[in-house]
Homo-oligomer: A and B are copies of this chain.
C-alpha cells in the first residue's frame, strides 16, 4: 500500500494500521510543511501566512451548500460549543435589533446574570450525542454515563423519530411517527418561549450515531428546518460522526437534497480537525467573540488536503456507495438467516448498523469479532455500528461478512 492509502485509512477511528511509507513523503520534507508541524501558532491572532489558501484547498473545497465560511477548532466538543455560542450571539443581536449591547448587558454578563448572560436554550433530541463539555453535554442524551453528576441547563429535549426498517417498507407508520415528533418540537419551542427561555437554535445529527444509528427521512429534516426558520431559531446540523464521506456523500445532509440545509454544520473526527461551517449571518459581529488560543492546528489541514485529493482521485465516495450497498445487502441476508438474533439492518453508504437480540449478546459478538481481527463498535442499547474507512471496497465487504457470519453462528 502507498502512503496515500495510509492517510485514507487513518480517517476511520476503528482501524489503526501501521504501514511504512516512503521516506521522501513530501509532507515531511517540504520546508513549509515542517514549519507547520513544529510551530503551533495562536491561529486567531497569528495564523501562518498561507492559512487562507490552505483553508481554501482543504475545508472550504468541501463546504456545504450555502456556506462559504468556516471556523476551525481543536476538537469536536469545542466545535459544537462555539457553534452554540455563534447561535446565541446571532439570536441576541436579532433581539437587540442589531443595536449595541446596553450597559446592563455588559455589566450583568460579568457575573453570569441575565440580560448579559441571557436565558436562551438549544433544542436537542433524545438519543442525540453532541459532545461532553458542559454546553454540549446539555444537548447530549444518549447514555447516562456521559451525563451523570454534571450540572446542566434546563433546555428542551424533543423525541427523535423511532422508525421501522427498512424505511421504504414502513413509509406510512414512519411518516406518522415523524409527524408526532415534529409536532412535539413546535410545542417545546412555544413552551420554552413562554418560560422565558427561547430556543436560539436546534441541533441534530443527520443519523443519530452514538444513540443507536437512528435514521429519519429527508422529509423529516426538511420540515424540521422549516420549523426552525418559522420560529426564528438557527438550525445546526452536527456532522461530527456522519461527515467526511462515509455515507456515500461528503456530508450526510446532502441526502436531503436541499439548497439551504442548515445555518451551521459542525465537523471533527474524519475531518482530522474540528470546526464548523456557517452562513454569513452567523458570523459573530465582533472579533474575539468566537476565539481561543489555538483554534485548531494548521498541520491537520495539510493532512486533510491530502485525504481530499485521494478521495477525488480514487472516487472513494462512489466506492463507499457501492460497498455500502453490498454491506447492507449482506446484513439483510444475515438478518433473514438469523431472525432471532438480528433485526433492523440499516445504513447509508457504509455507515451501517444492525440491532442484536440483547446487550449481552451484542457485547459478546463485538469481542468475538475482535478476536478474529475485526474491530466493531456498539451504539445505542443493543446495536452494532459499522464504520469502515473510505478505502473499504466490495472485496473487503465479503471478507468482513464471512467473519461476521462465523461469529453470528456461534451466538445463534
Copies of this chain per assembly: 2
Which B-chain residue is minimally distant from A84 (CB atoms)? B134
Stretch from A117-125, A355-363, A395-403 forming part of the interface with B? A117-125
From the candidates B144, B274, B303, name the one contacting A38 in the complex (CB within 8 A): B303
- A1: which B residues are within 8 A, CB to CB? none
A42 to chain B minimum Cβ distance, whole angstroms, is 4
> Are the C-beta atoms of A16 and B39 separated by less than 8 Å?
yes
A138 and B272 alpha carbons, distance in the complex (Å): 29
A188 to chain B minimum Cβ distance, whole angstroms, is 12
From the candidates B7, B46, B88, name the one contacting A16 in the complex (CB within 8 A): B46
A81 and B150 alpha carbons, distance in the complex (Å): 10
A194 part of interface (Cβ distance < 8 Å): no
Among A311-361, those with CB < 8 Å from B are: none
A91 and B148 alpha carbons, distance in the complex (Å): 12
A208 part of interface (Cβ distance < 8 Å): no
A120 and B73 alpha carbons, distance in the complex (Å): 29
- A116: which B residues are within 8 A, CB to CB? 144, 147-149
From the candidates B13, B118, B133, name the one contacting A149 in the complex (CB within 8 A): B118
> Are the C-beta atoms of A134 and B81 separated by less than 8 Å?
yes
- A148: which B residues are within 8 A, CB to CB? 89, 92, 101, 105-106, 109, 116, 289
- A409: which B residues are within 8 A, CB to CB? none
> Are the C-beta atoms of B133 and A135 separated by less than 8 Å?
yes
A382 part of interface (Cβ distance < 8 Å): no
From the candidates B74, B141, B299, name the one contacting A78 in the complex (CB within 8 A): B74
A226 part of interface (Cβ distance < 8 Å): no
Number of residues in A with C-beta < 8 Å to the partner? 90
> Are the C-beta atoms of B292 and A131 separated by less than 8 Å?
yes
0 or 1 for each of A91-135: is its CB under 8 Å from B? (1 = yes): 111000000010001110111110011111100001000011111
Q: Can you list 30 pairs linking A and B with CB atoms under 8 Å apart?
A: A13-B42, A13-B46, A13-B293, A18-B39, A23-B29, A27-B38, A74-B274, A75-B294, A76-B294, A78-B78, A85-B134, A88-B151, A105-B148, A106-B144, A109-B144, A110-B126, A111-B141, A112-B138, A112-B152, A112-B153, A116-B148, A118-B151, A120-B151, A132-B292, A135-B135, A145-B286, A145-B288, A146-B288, A151-B153, A269-B293
Which A residues are closer than 8 A to B by beta carbons? 6-7, 10, 13, 16, 18, 20-21, 23, 25, 27-29, 31, 34-35, 37-42, 46, 48, 73-78, 81-82, 84-85, 88-89, 91-93, 101, 105-107, 109-113, 116-121, 126, 131-135, 138, 141, 144-155, 157, 268-269, 272, 274, 286, 288-289, 291-294, 297, 299-300, 303
Given contacts A105-B149, A107-B144, A268-B294, list 19 more A-B pairs with CB under 8 A. A13-B46, A18-B35, A27-B38, A73-B75, A75-B75, A75-B293, A77-B292, A85-B132, A85-B134, A101-B149, A112-B138, A112-B154, A112-B157, A116-B147, A117-B151, A117-B152, A118-B149, A118-B151, A120-B151
